[in-house]
Amino acid sequence: MENRVGKTLIILFFLFLPTVLSAQNTTKKKYVQKVEWDACEGAESYKVEIFSKDTKESMFIETEDTFVEFSIPVGSYKFRVIAYDILGREASVSNWKNLEIIKVKQKKQEEDYVDFFISMGCGGEFFLYDGKMSYYNGNECAFSPHCEITSLFADVKNMKMGINCFFAGSILSMEDSVQSVVIPNAVVTLDYMVQFPILKDKLFIRANAGAGVYLMQFAKFKSKNPGDKKPIEYSCSFTLKAGADFVWQPFKPFDVKIGCNFVNAFIKDMPTGILIPNVELAWRF
């Protein structure tokens, strides 16, 4: 029986996995390597000898499992596995196998991603629906400067997420044969933003949704005669906002953004829909 076990151990085919596992300890900067082999019938324990070709020294690891984990410096090594039977006798020794430990440059973890933008541009404001403003014969539009501050601070499966502060202002000047209205206004919102890649590192889509305030100053006139003006009225209304942008990043630190935002402002408790297209140039920090 003993000879049979011995022969079985001698013809044992050892499988090994000389792959470097990149499990890194960030404080001590250690890397963990792992070697595996097939279980041997009748073997009770194993000893792995790792020989350094650089220092000409050996290290030994004893185990009852069919693998060992260890941490050794970058360099050239060879190893072999020695099997022991139930009596503790050396039953089989594998051939030497080469083992190379190399240092691989790791990419920066995406979870540490932080990007900060300040963008400025221009566009327009188009009033889509509103029981009062629709009275002005479809002339409800104005030039609108924009400013945004964006921070993308998280990355999940190539989707970057963050927050965005949006500002747009305009002065509406609308009139008909009866009256004229001058309306300075501003939209200020805080948005949640998600960025999706289209072309790697060059073209992206950013979707945003948030809430804020819509500020307006009414200066109403009964007629074209400035002497007939009414007192100025002010309004601060709750606002919901959603939008999407195409973002092109030709080179750092500049981004070009083309998009459109939809704002629903509850002006004097009346829902008012405003479409705000925009073109912006961003400085990325």
3-class secondary-structure state, position 160: strand
Structure tokens at 14: 């050892």
- pTM metric for this prediction: 0.55
What token pair was written down for 270? 């009346």
Residue by residue, pLDDT tens for the chain (285 residues) are 344 334 433 333 333 333 333 333 333 456 788 889 888 888 899 999 999 999 999 999 999 999 999 989 988 999 999 999 888 888 888 899 998 888 776 554 444 557 888 999 988 888 777 645 444 434 567 788 889 999 988 877 778 889 999 888 887 665 555 555 666 778 899 999 999 888 877 899 999 999 999 887 765 544 455 555 555 677 788 999 999 999 998 887 889 999 999 998 887 777 888 888 989 999 887
